Structure 1
Amino acid sequence: MSSAKQKNDNFLILTGLSGSGKTVVSHFFEDMGYYRIDNLPAKLIPYLVDFWKTREVEIQKIVLVVDIREAGFLKDFPQALEKIKEVVTPKIIFLEARDEILIKRYSESRRPHPLKTKRSMLEKIALERERLAQIREMADEIIDTSDYTVAELRKKLTERYFRRRKHRLQVLVVSFGYKFGLPLESDLVLDTRFLPNPFYLENLKELTGRSQKVRGFVLESTETKEYLKKIFQMLEFLMPRFISEGKSNLTISIGCTGGKHRSVVVATEIYRWLKSRKFNVRIFHRDIYK
């Protein structure tokens, strides 16, 4: 079988019952680097595939959400799939949930069911199941989301689709000065104001945490050594869990009074530790020259 015929993880089609979690799942894949397209008419799928294959735009991976909201979906989708199979065989993921869970979700969200009939919610769900039965049979993977929280569902998808791939967690390490305010995007904030302060030494005051003299002064402190040890232990515990949960961006902010000395040194050490463990990490010294 040629590679074009194999199920392509770079082109996912997400479908299933209304209220089963397609929005949550599609946004998860978007966070993991997929280009998300929602509710594209099924007749246009072959044109999308042609456009994607020509690489006229830099879109490497696509997650396409299609479902019963589109009037011609049930009739047009099998035909569209047949047309594109010589170019790409997408992976189809079908989401579903138990009736009582779907009813509860509709009650909580107060959103109407897409089937415009005068039937009860339970009858609408039953009708949608019946109409989607053929599409469900075409699926490569069926996921029942009934018993998953959003976090648990993201974890399941991470383990299923990204466990063997290089993780995509983007880490930003920021040094800052408390006198200028906390970085608003912070996920973790670490305080270094209790560490020995080079500001009070005349030969170090005008230097920054990038200077070897300042680095040596801060790092030779027993408090700094113990603090970094504890930080690295914490990150050793946290990082796999952030990845497992499906987190795509993490900002670690390290502060001192002015953002010029101690925070720069400690942020650099954290950056180097993460880099040595193959994380995709950047560093930004926000207030170093203020």
Structure 2
Amino acid sequence: MAETARQDVGEVLIVTGMSGAGRTTAANALEDLDWYVVDNLPPQMLKPLLDLTELAGGVLPRVAVVVDVRGRDLFSDLPNAMRALRERRQIRLMFLDASDDALVRRFEAVRRPHPLQHGGTILDGIRRERARLAAVRESADILIDTSSYNIHQLATKVADLFSEEGAARHTLTLQSFGFKYGLPPDADMVADMRFLPNPFWDEELRPFTGEDPQVREYVLEQEGARAFLDAYSQALRPVLEGYQRENKSHSVVAVGCTGGKHRSVVMVRELAERLASVPGVAVRISHRDLGKE
């Protein structure tokens, strides 16, 4: 009896196309979207991989497999392998293409031979590859011409195609810290809260932290505190939007005070509330020095 398609398994995407058209960039973009990516898999290994994804249940919900002419003679079996697998479950194929001129320029820029060049010119290799891929291209579910794309534009295109609706394109970590313990080495931007009075010098507030309501109230009542929050959160919005356009998937904004216990903790919380509404951004909070003496 023929094996019926499974409805409880995850997505499978085959990524292929012309050498130099951006397969690696596309694979990296999918990996950033939390796809499980397998590179340079022979078509004959697709069935065992699908078996594994079914056995794994929900552990591998989205799998992308890069299959291309680096597989040499094994690659020619891709059309047959795809037909057999599509009888079993839903599989999509994404084909990346580009003009001959664009591909030649890219190979010349990296000073590497085309995998099918075989002692000839780069253009000879491109023509051989087009002939081998003609049938595969015809069966593609998604066709992307990358001739006019740079790597950032291609990554954005892939993200637009495969991001889950409402999924974050960028993760922002807001991290409080104490200057006396040193700057966070991975910070993209640093804000200094030492322009505000330090609750440490108030004996009633000293034992508490910025997580406590009395410290929060004290900090936010200080002159300039709310004005800073409003202005800084507005200044960060176009930055976060630009990070998404440039496919920068993560950034760290470090907010410091003297010890990382009072002012910076309050301001990180307040900034997180203001920035949570930025489209495509997931906001995380980290307090690096909160537990230190």
> Common fold, TM-score beyond 0.5?
yes
Matched, 1:286 2:272: no
Give the structure 2 partner of residue 224 of structure 1.
225
Superimposed CA distance per residue, residues 123-151 of structure 1 (whole angstroms, 9 cap, x where no aligned partner): 11121112211111111121111211222
Q: Secondary structure at the match of 2:176?
A: strand
Give the structure 2 partner of residue 143 of structure 1.
144
Q: Secondary structure at the match of 1:225?
A: helix
Deviation at 1:105, TM superposition (A): 1.6
Contact 2:176 2:268 in 1 (8 A): yes
Superimposed CA distance per residue, residues 154-187 of structure 1 (whole angstroms, 9 cap, x where no aligned partner): 2222223327343353332211112222222323
Give the structure 2 partner of residue 200 of structure 1.
201
Give the structure 2 partner of residue 37 of structure 1.
38
Give the structure 2 partner of residue 182 of structure 1.
183
Contact 1:158 1:245 in 2 (8 A): no
Using the alignment, how far apart are the partners of 1:127 and 1:226 within structure 2?
A: 63
Deviation at 1:117, TM superposition (A): 0.8
Number of equivalenced pairs:
287
Q: Secondary structure at the match of 1:205?
A: coil
User: In 2 relative to 1, CA 5–123 (structure 1 residues): closer, same or farther, beyond 3 Å?
Assistant: farther
Q: Secondary structure at the match of 2:78?
A: helix
Q: Secondary structure at the match of 2:286?
A: strand
Tell me which moved more, 47-56 or 131-140.
47-56
Matched, 1:49 2:69: no
Matched, 1:17 2:46: no
Give the structure 1 partner of residue 94 of structure 2.
93
Tell me which moved more, 152-161 or 141-150.
152-161
Deviation at 1:284, TM superposition (A): 1.6
> What do you get for the CA RMSD once the two structures are aligned?
2.6
Tell me which moved more, 89-98 or 60-69.
89-98
Q: Amino acid of the residue matched to residue 24 of structure 1?
A: T
Superimposed CA distance per residue, residues 39-62 of structure 1 (whole angstroms, 9 cap, x where no aligned partner): 111111011112112225711111
TM, length-normalised to structure 2: 0.88
User: 1:118-267 residue pairs with structure 2 within 5 A?
Assistant: 118-162=119-163, 164-167=165-168, 169-267=170-268
Matched, 1:81 2:82: yes
Contact 1:5 1:86 in 2 (8 A): no
- Identity percentage of aligned residues: 39
User: In 2 relative to 1, CA 274–220 (structure 1 residues): closer, same or farther, beyond 3 Å?
Assistant: same
Superimposed CA distance per residue, residues 89-145 of structure 1 (whole angstroms, 9 cap, x where no aligned partner): 211111122222222222222222212511111111121112211111111121111
Contact 2:11 2:90 in 1 (8 A): no
Superimposed CA distance per residue, residues 242-290 of structure 1 (whole angstroms, 9 cap, x where no aligned partner): 4454443332221122211111110111223345679543322111122
Using the alignment, how far apart are the partners of 1:241 and 1:87 within structure 2?
A: 42
Q: Secondary structure at the match of 1:112?
A: coil
Contact 2:11 2:63 in 1 (8 A): yes
Contact 2:190 2:256 in 1 (8 A): yes
Give the structure 2 partner of residue 105 of structure 1.
106
Q: Which runs of 5+ in 2 are unaligned?
A: none
Q: Secondary structure at the match of 2:232?
A: helix
Tell me which moved more, 63-72 or 80-89.
80-89
Q: Which runs of 5+ in 1 are unaligned?
A: none
Q: Amino acid of the residue matched to residue 160 of structure 1?
A: L
Q: Amino acid of the residue matched to residue 38 of structure 1?
A: D
